[in-house]
């Protein structure tokens, strides 16, 4: 996988997929999150939250909360909101769980 911003070519050490999203953990401890559009092209989702940019991530997964146990009641009433969670473990042992892809305001 080639990083357009840095020119580096980190290897992928972990992946998680919940249709239409993909999370990749790379060997430089960074993450790549993307969504597959209707043309089956991957579009990277911008990581505006400094937490996602500045941490060294060891592991992560995407989780589709089909029962609504982890999303707030407002999200359940609004079908346009996501019920996908992103769970990330950083090098210090902290676990981050956020609603995805609107993780910026829900972390």
Q: Over the stretch 55-96, which tens digit does the pLDDT of each residue have?
A: 999 999 999 888 877 776 454 445 556 688 889 999 999 999
Number of folded domains that form the chain: 1
Element (H, E) at 95: strand 95-100
For residue 78, what are the domain limits? 12-106
Place of tokens 């969504």: 35
First to last CA, the chain: 27
CA dihedral (45, 62, 3, 81) in degrees, to 10, reads 0
- CA 76 vs. chain centroid, Å, equals 20
Phi-psi region of 39 (alpha: psi -120 to 50; beta: other; left: phi over 0): alpha
Look at residue 4 and tell me if it is in a domain. Answer: no
Lowest mean pLDDT among 14-18, 27-31, 70-74: 70-74
Greatest mean pLDDT range, 5-19, 40-54, 76-90: 5-19
Residue 7: inside a domain? no
What is the per-residue pLDDT for 67? 81
Q: Is residue 5 part of a domain?
A: no
Give the pTM.
0.75
Look at residue 44 and tell me if it is in a domain: yes
């Amino acid at each position: 996988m080639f990083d357009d911003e840095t020119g580096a070519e980190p290897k992928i050490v972990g992946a998680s997929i919940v249709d239409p999203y993909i999370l990749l953990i790379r060997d430089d401890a960074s993450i790549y999150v993307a969504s597959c559009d209707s043309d089956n092209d991957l579009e990277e989702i911008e990581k505006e939250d400094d937490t996602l940019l500045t941490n060294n991530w060891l592991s992560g997964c995407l989780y589709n909360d089909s029962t609504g146990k982890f999303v707030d009641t407002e999200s359940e009433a609004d079908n346009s909101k996501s019920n996908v969670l992103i769970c990330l473990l950083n090098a210090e042992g902290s676990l981050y769980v956020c609603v995805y892809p609107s993780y910026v305001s829900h972390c």
